[in-house]
């Protein structure tokens, strides 16, 4: 990267690496030049001040590894500040990620056990959350060095409710993150949950189908029998593992992944999760909902970059294990 002269407009040259490839030019620029107005980028492109491999291209062009990106922009938008900006968004003191919460790690991904009570992402400035803990852990281990990245930041590929414990996948590289998101989107990540519910569902095994409508103001989901505008189809399979007096231990297999899906569907059939106050599962013995994403299995194709994990199952013990 270099700047030439002391003129108002500077030349910045960036070489696209593996973590920046595979995305549209405009999306890359918006993530890299975090303080640069979108209107300025579009104007610069019209004026041929943004070039890939010394040629003007459309902002929809897909970047490839090794591409040379030349930017003629005001020097206050220096992309070299990107790494510092990423690190600067983290709170000054982030609790360390407990070693016991790291279920699996390799060069591409991380599997973490999110504890109950910890949000996946920041809900308010300075609050502890899993995303910040993961970033600090990866920076401390040297797996992620913001100063060497232009646009990529490791991210959680799936998320869980604040008061739901369980397995979360983290992409340590851009190709791995894209692949994890694709596998999840194409239902190639099997997620099983364990929960304790009020009463004993009948029959002891069933597939529940309905339509979920989210009330974002109340942060609450409603299950409907018929499709309506704004509602999304949900499919949840459950089986009763054992009866515990007036309650039951139930394993749930998700066939779709919607907000509060398990909590809302179990409540809709009259068996809310114990401790889930939002959906009628109040219980004095449970401060949080007794729900855990306790088993996860990747099912990538043979030609996937994650094919070596085909059939590999990850598991954790729920906090409410009996």
Which residues carry out catalysis?
161
Matching residue, tokens 């729900």: 291
Beta bridge partner(s), residue 51: 56, 70
Joined together, the tokens standing for residue 190 give 């099997």
CA distances from 11 to 33, 40, 46, 72, 84 (A): 14, 15, 16, 5, 20
Is-contact 220 161, C-beta < 8 A?
Answer: no
């Amino acid at each position: 990267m270099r700047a030439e002269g002391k003129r108002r407009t500077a030349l910045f040259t960036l070489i696209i690496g593996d973590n920046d490839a595979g995305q549209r030019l405009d999306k890359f620029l918006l993530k890299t030049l975090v303080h640069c107005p979108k209107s300025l980028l579009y104007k610069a492109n019209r004026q041929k001040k943004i070039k890939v491999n010394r040629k003007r291209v459309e902002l929809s062009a897909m970047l490839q590894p090794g591409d040379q990106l030349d930017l003629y922009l005001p020097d206050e938008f220096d992309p070299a500040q990107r790494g510092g900006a990423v690190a600067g968004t983290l709170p000054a003191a982030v609790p360390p990620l407990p070693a016991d919460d790291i279920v699996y790690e390799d060069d591409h991904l991380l599997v973490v056990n999110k504890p109950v009570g910890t949000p996946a992402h920041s809900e308010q400035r300075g609050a502890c959350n899993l995303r910040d803990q993961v970033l600090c852990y990866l920076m401390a281990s040297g797996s992620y060095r913001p100063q060497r990245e232009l646009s990529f930041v490791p991210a959680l590929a799936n998320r869980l409710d604040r008061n739901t414990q369980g397995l979360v996948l983290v992409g340590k590289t851009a190709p791995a993150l894209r692949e994890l998101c694709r596998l999840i989107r194409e239902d190639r990540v099997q997620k099983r949950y364990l929960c304790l519910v009020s009463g004993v569902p009948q029959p002891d095994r069933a597939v529940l189908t309905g339509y979920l409508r989210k009330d974002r103001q109340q942060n609450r989901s409603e299950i409907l029998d018929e499709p309506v505008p704004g509602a999304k189809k949900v499919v949840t399979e459950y089986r009763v593992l054992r009866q515990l007096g007036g309650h039951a231990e139930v394993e749930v297999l998700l066939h779709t992944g919607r907000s509060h899906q398990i909590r809302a569907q179990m409540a809709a059939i009259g068996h809310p999760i114990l401790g889930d106050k939002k959906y009628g599962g109040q219980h004095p013995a449970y401060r949080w909902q007794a729900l855990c994403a306790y088993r996860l299995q990747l099912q990538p194709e043979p030609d996937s970059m994650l094919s070596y994990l085909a059939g590999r199952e990850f598991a954790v013990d729920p906090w409410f294990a009996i």
